[in-house]
Amino acid sequence: MQPTTDQTGRITAASFLVTGGAGFIGSHIAERLLAAGARKVRVLDNMTTGHFRNIAPFVNHPRFEYVQGDIRDITACNTACKGIDFVLHHAASGSVPDSINDPITTNNINATGFLNMLVAAHAAQVKRFIYASSASIFTDNQTTPLAGLPGNPESPYAVSKYVNELYADVFSRLHGMETIGLRYSNVFGQRHNPLSEYAAVIPKFVMQLIKHESPVIDVDDEYSHDFIYIDNVVQANMLAVLTTNAKAVNQVYNITFEERTSLNQLAKYLREFLSSFDQSIAGVKIMNAFTQKHNVHPYAYIQKSKKLLGYNPSYSLRDGLLKSAGWYWAYLPRFVEEAVTKKQQRQQVAAVSA
């Protein structure tokens, strides 16, 4: 999206805090804000899953600040919020399997950490608090989450994201805070964290194809997914910052492209684009071994996002994969190796602490 003159003026006059700003989504938001002329963009990240590489392109920008800190530390949250007009909260533990294996840590980061940030933002009198929720709060048998009401969350991760929405609503009503929640579907693109909740199947298939291994589709073809390219997510965040529509604040929005894609079609797209770098990938077979029957995956409608925020995503799954295939080919193997090493180091620290 191209900001209007008035919108550009409001961006250049404002200071922004992006929590989790060294991560996949947060770094893209920080970069876009700087490109739009923001007076200051501060990133708060503890580098647990984030990486300096993600902020390297703009780390020396004169209006950029990096603060090492953890949202579980209320003092760090208070310090990070000082002098800030807009908070874009994207720090989180984003792994469903990790949330099942260690729900306490997930809750501490995603629920308590979120509450810390709300309290700090309220104390700092920020103008608006924008945060990442997740389409995972919907269950597989919710085929039309049009009303925006979650079903029964199926993981501690999903519970924590629903709790975020409840806390934001309470702070809006009790304290008059402006909050906007963005429920992302499966986000993908450059800087994709291969171990995150977002579109985990994409790096899995990419790595298999790079190794000339056959992706195995083990669920029936009716089990379709909503994928969303990172530039569409950044657009939604910019709109949440810039909206002057009073009806648009204190709301939660579904953020996706509003298309459904089977895993079989996804694998075919990836095979097509990656074969540009290695022609032999074109001959890799996609294996269908249906062993599971799922209910139809919930379909995230975006009428509300379009009407109130003016959200109009530009990139389909195919468009986004075409733009990011080069990155996946060049950088994903290194990202996977480093992400696995980081996870092992965290597990070792946790084992020693226990």
The whole-angstrom separation of Cα 299 and Cα 282 is 31
Helix axes 113-123, 74-81, angle to 10 degrees: 40
Strand 40-45 relative to strand 64-68: parallel, antiparallel, unpaired?
Answer: parallel
Task: Report which DSSP code applies to 269.
Answer: H
The whole-angstrom separation of Cα 120 and Cα 228 is 31
Structure tokens, 217:
């589709």
Active site residues: 157
Which residue, 162, 301, 311, is CA-closest to 234?
A: 311
Task: Report which DSSP code applies to 348.
Answer: H
For residue 235, what is the enclosing H or E element? helix 230-242
The whole-angstrom separation of Cα 186 and Cα 184 is 7
Which residue, 32, 49, 50, is CA-closest to 41?
A: 32
The whole-angstrom separation of Cα 113 and Cα 48 is 14
Q: Is 19 exposed, middle or buried (0-12, 13-18, 19+ CB in 10 A)?
A: buried
